[in-house]
Structure 1
Amino acid sequence: MATLKLIPVFLLLQLVISVFFVDPITAQGLKVGFYKKTCPSVEAIVKKTTAHFISRAPTLASPLLRMHFHDCFVRGCDGSVLLNSTATNQAEKSAIPNQSLRGFQVVDAAKAAVEKACPGVVSCADILALVARDVVSLIEGPRWEVPTGRRDGRVSLASEALTNLPPPFFNITQLKASFTRKGLSVKDLVVLSGGHTIGNSHCPSFTNRLYNFTGKGDTDTSLDSNYIPKLKSKCKPGDVTTIVEMVPGSFKTFDADYYTLVAKRRGLFQSDAALLTDSDTRAYVKLQASTHGSTFFQDFGVSMVNMGNIGVLTGSAGEIRKHCAFVN
């Protein structure tokens, strides 16, 4: 007791604060194994369903991972990106940034299978978070524990997707501000950017860097000049249909090659190149490029959990949708 009396009051307050806030995920109502009693087979069902699709179409991994990101950055991780538009409302799906999303049938199939086993228990938001984890692990990426307990939102607005999703032409200041608003760190920004190691992009997302970067018919000087002719051979001016691999040669495998490409100034988007303009993000890019992604897999799982915690609905908020594309 004598030792305790010597501790200043403000230190005791800090200790109490650290005890109660060390795990913000638990504080918000999410936890690993949330469905342990109510739907113990949910993760096995979702993984089996996801594997069925990915084994036949591995290119679905990237849009499904991006779907979770696009869900969380608009209204939080509430499954709002899964809702269809109605006669009176344009949903997030219809917004330009989301028109290239694919794989909704995977989430719908997983939901149907889960509903058969555990009707009315598991949210679409949680299923999407689990699918995003599973597609990464199924293409040789990391696997992480997904805290669950999210509930589904009832609102989905295309206009909110436009204002909340960071576009591929953002600079580092804009990217950091976008992530900060969602409660994510600079490290989360550079780690989650590593998701670009899989998938493709349509030409319009980056051709301004090739043909008319400053409005004078010039190219982006932050892009490797030797790489520009290769990209121009794939994307002619005005081409809106051709797709290009984000990381040539390994776009179907989840690895750290993205950072090697960015370090060589060959990242496809301006937002990729922007990672070299900040000391912290540049240091992380160079570390992963030089060590073949020594910490990337572990970091990615941590940042995905952080992202999956954005603005979640828990408890009695929202609902558990019967079908992911429609409110109950």
Structure 2
Amino acid sequence: MKMRSKTFLFLLISAVFFFSETTFAENNEEEKAVEGLVMNYYKDTCPQAEDIIKEQVKLLYKRHKNTAFSWLRNIFHDCAVESCDASLLLDSTRRMMSEKEMDRSFGLRNFRYLDTIKEAIERECPGVVSCADILVISARDGVVQLGGPHIPLKTGRRDGRRSRAEILEQYLPDHNESMSTVLEKFKSIGIDAKGVVALLGAHSVGRTHCTKIVHRLYPEVDPALNPDHVPHILKKCYDPIPDPKSVQYVRNDRGTPMIFDNNYYRNILDSKGLLIVDHQLTTDKRTRPYVVKMAKNQDYFFKEFSRALTILSENNPLTGTKGEIRRECSVVNKLH
């Protein structure tokens, strides 16, 4: 009888323990789902949020075509540096240097247009939609305006309270670094060699400032550059020490400079890439096969770009109760 009682008690305790563990695990999974990024995060709190962003992007692009390049570059400069949390948009304070004022952020501009989008959102849903989500979705919609693919991206990010100027160099790949270093930095956020090649396809649009390429032109022209393309570059970058304020630049793609397409890959295979990293993509055995494939197949490029941008946009976001929803994208709320 005692034996049966002990057996029953053991089974009862085991059942309670198993039930508790199962419930705890289920609650944890539910908590993760609530706190993580999801599609259409604002469907209940601000159902028109993504439509407002899309409409603003279209209006701003119609008035200022180059805004789309800025939005695309913003997502790279923000999300690649530790977290996708709109830290890039913060202004400097007495205690904190802004990321956007660092040398590596040279050429970044048009932040005022993100403020325009934020203001439109705030009029409809004050204090609900994060600047981090606006930054990501505006980049996605900017790609569409340029003729690129529509990429379904999750939302639910919250805004960070500090800029990361002091660690920017540690995370952000540079166009003059070795391909090994570039690949390693992207690998740290989950993007493989194929994804790196696809993301750099963003160089299909926009322009490169002369300050970034004069070392390939003076005192001698880099022999790796296509000699037929050199006269055009020299005409645009005529000064060995260009004045940054004069905004001297060369279009990345002379053929279709305002269209997001795979022409970039054909250009770099023809030695017309402006940056060192563009040239290295075609010479490194880890990346060249993907360059060749993307040059031949635009659908493949779009597919891999979409995959890589999704990974980038989901890099270590602040969700749930972390961070805040800034009222203004350039200032943390406590400073108001």
Match of 1:66 in 2: 73
Equivalent residue for 2:182, pick from 175, 185, 188? 175
Equivalent residue for 2:307, pick from 297, 302, 306? 302
Matched, 1:257 2:263: yes
Q: Return the letter of the residue paired with 1:268.
A: L
Equivalent position SS for 2:63: coil
Matched, 1:221 2:226: no
When residues 295 and 311 of structure 1 are mapped into structure 2, their CA distance, relative to the original with a 3 A threshold, is same
Instruction: Please tell me whether the aligned partners of residues 92 and 161 of structure 1 are also in contact (alpha carbons under 8 angstroms).
Output: yes
Equivalent residue for 2:164, pick from 154, 157, 162? 157
Instruction: Please tell me whether the aligned partners of residues 95 and 159 of structure 1 are also in contact (alpha carbons under 8 angstroms).
Output: no
Summarize the alignment of residues 16-35 of structure 1 with structure 2, pairs less than 5 Å apart.
Answer: 29-35=36-42
Q: Return the letter of the residue paired with 1:239.
A: P
Offset, 1:227: 2.1
Equivalent residue for 1:89, pick from 91, 96, 102? 96
When residues 245 and 26 of structure 1 are mapped into structure 2, their CA distance, relative to the original with a 3 A threshold, is farther
Work out the CA distance in 2 between the residues paired with 1:147 and 1:198: 25
Summarize the alignment of residues 2-151 of structure 1 with structure 2, pairs less than 5 Å apart.
Answer: 29-151=36-158
Match of 1:318 in 2: 323
When residues 26 and 207 of structure 1 are mapped into structure 2, their CA distance, relative to the original with a 3 A threshold, is farther
Matched, 1:239 2:242: yes
Offset, 1:157: 3.2
Q: Return the letter of the residue paired with 1:121.
A: V
Match of 1:278 in 2: 284
Offset, 1:326: 0.5
Moved more, 123-132 or 273-282: 273-282
Matched, 1:203 2:216: no
Identity of aligned residues (%): 38
Offset, 1:155: 0.9
Larger Rg: 2
Instruction: Please tell me whether the aligned partners of residues 96 and 162 of structure 2 are also in contact (alpha carbons under 8 angstroms).
Output: no
Work out the CA distance in 2 between the residues paired with 1:313 and 1:149: 8
C-alpha RMSD of the superposition: 1.7
Instruction: Please tell me whether the aligned partners of residues 89 and 329 of structure 2 are also in contact (alpha carbons under 8 angstroms).
Output: yes
Query: Which ranges of structure 1 fall in alignment gaps of 5 or more residues?
Result: 1-24, 212-216
Equivalent position SS for 1:55: helix
Count of residue correspondences: 298
Equivalent position SS for 2:116: helix
Match of 2:273 in 1: 267
Query: Which ranges of structure 2 fall in alignment gaps of 5 or more residues?
Result: 1-31
Equivalent position SS for 2:97: coil
When residues 296 and 27 of structure 1 are mapped into structure 2, their CA distance, relative to the original with a 3 A threshold, is farther
What does the per-residue CA deviation read over 1:189-224, in whole Å, with 9 as the maximum and x for residues that have no partner? 10000001110111011111122xxxxx44333322
What does the per-residue CA deviation read over 1:216-254, in whole Å, with 9 as the maximum and x for residues that have no partner? x44333322332232122212112331110111322111
Equivalent position SS for 1:279: coil
Work out the CA distance in 2 between the residues paired with 1:27 and 1:169: 41
Work out the CA distance in 2 between the residues paired with 1:221 and 1:310: 38
Q: Return the letter of the residue paired with 1:148.
A: T
Equivalent position SS for 2:287: helix
TM-score under structure 1 normalisation? Answer: 0.86
Offset, 1:28: 7.2
Equivalent position SS for 1:254: coil
Work out the CA distance in 1 between the residues paired with 2:172 and 2:291: 22
Instruction: Please tell me whether the aligned partners of residues 83 and 317 of structure 2 are also in contact (alpha carbons under 8 angstroms).
Output: yes
